[in-house]
Structure 1
Amino acid sequence: MGKLLSVIVFILVTSCLSLKGELLGSYCANCANGDLSVTELTQARIEFVKQQILKKLRLSKKPAVALPVNSLPMPVAQGQTLSEGTSKPPEFDDYYGRTEQKIIFPVEDSIVH
């Protein structure tokens, strides 16, 4: 039920934001005034996705990870990826979106048996 409610809220919010008040203006004051720009709409969608990711991970807020750059593997610190060494060109798929931010979670080396 919670997932269905989240989907419904997302659809209503994106519809309201994208229509800029043409049909739903009486329900959304900002949409009626046309105060939302494309960047604000994009930010609202990004925030919604972030909240959904946190919810799936059962976190109440973004994890605080302090990882110094020198502790990263050298290729990662230099921004190199595996695709640079391949001979065929990478396939670009913008159907679902573009990567704007990468998050690296540190993992401890010791394994408890």
Structure 2
Amino acid sequence: MKQLAAHDFEDLLQVSLLVEPHNQLLLDLLFSLSCWHALAKLHLQTMSTIKFLQKLTQALGYYLQKFARITCTVYDAHELVQELNFYTYKLHSLGDYPSAIQQYGTYDGFSTQVMSY
């Protein structure tokens, strides 16, 4: 489970089911993540989409914190050092995407995936 890309997390989370109310919280989080990802990857951005991305980033932060505060405390799960957590730069920089898109343009030419040749 090292070096997972976004599509790997998507595949893992699509088969995740929890008991209520945690399942609904997980679904809300997944929906926010997928909407945020789709909006951030648009090839054409407008001021409306950038403002919506800003609001969606706030909602995503809310659901991430709620998931960590409520669901993660119920289940006996242990995070490995190399896994995604609240202290990684990628997660911390999500709030910078809207202003960066406005300043530098869209991210359609960039990828964080590790390429092997």
Q: Please give the TM-score of this superposition, normalised by the length of structure 2.
A: 0.31
In the superposition, the TM-score normalised over structure 1's length comes to 0.32
Q: Which has the higher contact order (CA 8 A, sep 6+)?
A: 2
